[in-house]
């Protein structure tokens, strides 16, 4: 890892097609570093813990054109806070959560953008719809009119080689295409949220429209 935050951002940005949205994942990154990334031109930020994100958002209130993306597993009891503090939720990973978000969005009077998280391969460490379950749930999802369902999110299981990772990303793109061809009036499928620091180049090659990058911009996180 070398260079300043802005140099790293510029290097990565230059490798991405202009149409691909770069989401800077700032979990465990302090708000002054987020501010530096903002100054370098980033407007999309991703977080995976609600409390941590809210604390930093409070310190960054003056940066009013940030779009906040929630990318972590969302527990039902935090759904309201997520909706109040994030414009996008990439990690809607089951029907019950989608239903809860839709109800809350209606109560609050908002229409959040969401992605449906899908597991192309079985992965005990990750949540998300299996492909058959997602296809079965589409008629119900189509009724959640307060959600703007924008597309699919996926994270390949750990330990795959490049070819296997590429197959996961390609399958995700094909699945979005299959769903699009079903013409659900309330399900959009124009976005693919896929690609992290280790695999974003493959994801872009496979058609990602949003990449979620942490380590490559901010360095290794402590734990």
Ligand X SMILES: *Cc1c(COP(=O)(O)O)cnc(C)c1O
Going by C-alpha positions, the residue among 131, 180, 128 that lies closest to residue 155 is 128
Q: Which two tokens stand for residue 72?
A: 């972590």
Span interacting with ligand X, options 6-14, 29-37, 55-63, 196-204, rule CB under 6 A: 196-204
Q: How far apart are the first and last CA of the chain?
A: 18
Using rule CB under 6 A, residue 34 touches ligand X: no
Candidate residues 9, 71, 175, 204; the one interacting with ligand X per rule CB under 6 A = 71
Tokens of 107: 């109560």
CB nearer to ligand X: give 25 or 179.
Answer: 25
Between 25 and 146, name the residue whose CB sits nearer to ligand X: 25
Binding mask 153-182 for ligand X (x = CB under 6 A): --x---------------------------
* Interface pick for ligand X out of 128, 151, 156, 214 (rule CB under 6 A): 214
Nearer to ligand X, 72 or 151 (CB): 72
**DSSP calls for 109-157:** T---EEEEEEESS--TT---EEHHHHHHHHHHHTT-TTSEEEEEE--PP
Question: Residue 118, exposed/middle/buried by CB under 10 A (0-12, 13-18, 19+)?
Answer: buried
Q: How far is the CB of 96 from ligand X (least distance, A)?
A: 20
Residue of closest CB approach to ligand X = 214
- Number of helical H runs and strand E runs in the chain: 9, 9
Applying CB under 6 A, among 33, 131, 135, 196 the residue interacting with ligand X is 196
Question: 3-class DSSP state for residue 48?
Answer: coil
* Candidates 59-67, 139-147, 158-166, 190-198; binding stretch for ligand X (CB under 6 A): 190-198
- Under the rule (CB under 6 A), what is the footprint of ligand X? 25, 27, 48, 71-72, 155, 196-198, 212-216
């Amino acid at each position: 890892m070398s260079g300043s935050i802005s140099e790293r951002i510029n290097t990565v940005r230059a490798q991405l097609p202009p149409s691909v949205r770069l989401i800077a994942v700032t979990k465990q990154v302090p708000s002054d570093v987020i501010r530096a990334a903002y100054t370098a031109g980033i407007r999309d930020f991703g977080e995976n813990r609600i409390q941590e994100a809210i604390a930093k958002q409070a310190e960054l209130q003056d940066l009013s054109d940030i779009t906040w993306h929630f990318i972590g597993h969302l527990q039902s009891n935090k759904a309201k806070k997520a909706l109040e503090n994030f414009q996008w939720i990439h990690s809607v990973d089951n029907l019950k959560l989608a239903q809860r978000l839709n109800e809350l969005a209606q109560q609050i009077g908002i229409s959040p953008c969401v992605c449906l998280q899908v597991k192309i391969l079985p992965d005990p460490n990750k949540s998300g719809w299996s492909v058959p379950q997602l296809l079965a749930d589409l008629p119900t999802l189509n009724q959640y009119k307060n959600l703007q369902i924008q597309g699919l999110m996926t994270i390949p299981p750990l330990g795959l080689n490049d070819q296997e990772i590429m197959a996961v990303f390609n399958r995700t793109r094909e699945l979005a295409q299959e769903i699009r061809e079903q013409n659900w009036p309330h399900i959009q499928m124009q976005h693919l949220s896929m690609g992290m620091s280790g695999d974003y180049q493959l994801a872009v090659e496979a058609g990602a429209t949003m990449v979620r990058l942490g380590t490559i911009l901010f360095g290794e996180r402590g734990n």
